[in-house]
Structure 1
Amino acid sequence: MKLPDWQKRFSEFGKARARMPFAWGSNDCCTFAAAGVEAITGVNPMASVEPYDSEFGAMRRVAEAGGLQALASEYLGTSVSPLLASVGDVVLVLNEDREMLGICNGVNVMAPGELGMVALGMEAALAAWKI
């Protein structure tokens, strides 16, 4: 459930992550999406996940779950069509032939990039999770 001040908290999340570079285990697509959900709801859906700090650790967890969509569904519930995504919802996108998670800002999907947050087009969205 979204907190009463979720819009302000979501805006602050965006400002905090705007220039934060990509880092496995702290600002990769899963931890980015989880932090966005936490900003909106006060609950980190990845709180019980064993920490990792490498691509290998992240990919092992994704493989164990059966893929990124299955992993996201494990923590966020059943996915919906990306056409139903609205501000604050988690979105699975295909970026340069690689799946990644981000957060819908109403127009684009915001996700961690090499040097900070990047905007990806919703036309690349494969699935979404309502928050």
Structure 2
Amino acid sequence: MRYRDWTTRLNDVIQAAQGRPFSWGEFDCCLFAADCTAAVCGTDPAEQYRGKYKTEAGAKRQLKKRHGSLEAAWDACFSRVSMAFIQRGDVVMYDAPGGRSMAVFWAGDYWATTDDGVARVVCEPLAAWRVE
């Protein structure tokens, strides 16, 4: 269930992440999305991943070992929803220039990590999860 003040919490996480540089295992697409879900409902899908990798290869190894795929990791915590029913606070997966990435839907836009911090991104979601 979402916190009563989830909108304020989520906005605070997004604001704090702007300008924060991308760093595998410290501040990457999945960790940012997980920070957002923790702010919305208290569930941190990246809890067992935090501190376990420092590179893209390490992240992929951990994903394969623990869940098998990025989708399976998110499926373990949240229910998928149709793209037509994405709501504020939901998480989506999309194809970014560097590979599959995660974003959060907020204020009519998708927010994701970039080299220079969190920013609005234009994307076509491949899958979406209801965060609650």
TM tier, shorter chain? 0.7 to 0.9
Deviation at 1:70, TM superposition (A): 1.9
C-alpha distance in 2 between matches for 1:43 and 1:97: 27
Contact 1:81 1:126 in 2 (8 A): no
Task: Quote the sequence identity (%).
Answer: 29
Q: How does 1:1-131 map to 2 (within 5 A)?
A: 1-49=1-49, 51-64=52-65, 65-74=67-76, 76-96=77-97, 98-122=99-123, 124-131=124-131
Structure (1/2) with the larger helix percentage: 1
Superposition RMSD on alpha carbons, in Å?
1.7
1:78-124 per-position Cα deviation (integer Å, ceiling 9, x unaligned): 322222111111111112262111111142211111011122235x1
Contact 1:81 1:128 in 2 (8 A): yes
C-alpha distance in 2 between matches for 1:45 and 1:63: 15
Structure 2: gaps (5+ residues): none
| Greater Cα offset, 31-40 or 76-85 | 76-85
C-alpha distance in 1 between matches for 2:44 and 2:3: 13
Partner letter of residue 6 of structure 1?
Answer: W
| Greater Cα offset, 96-105 or 57-66 | 57-66
State the number of aligned residues.
129
Structure 1: gaps (5+ residues): none
Contact 2:19 2:116 in 1 (8 A): yes
C-alpha distance in 1 between matches for 2:114 and 2:68: 24
Partner letter of residue 30 of structure 2?
Answer: C
Partner letter of residue 107 of structure 1?
Answer: G
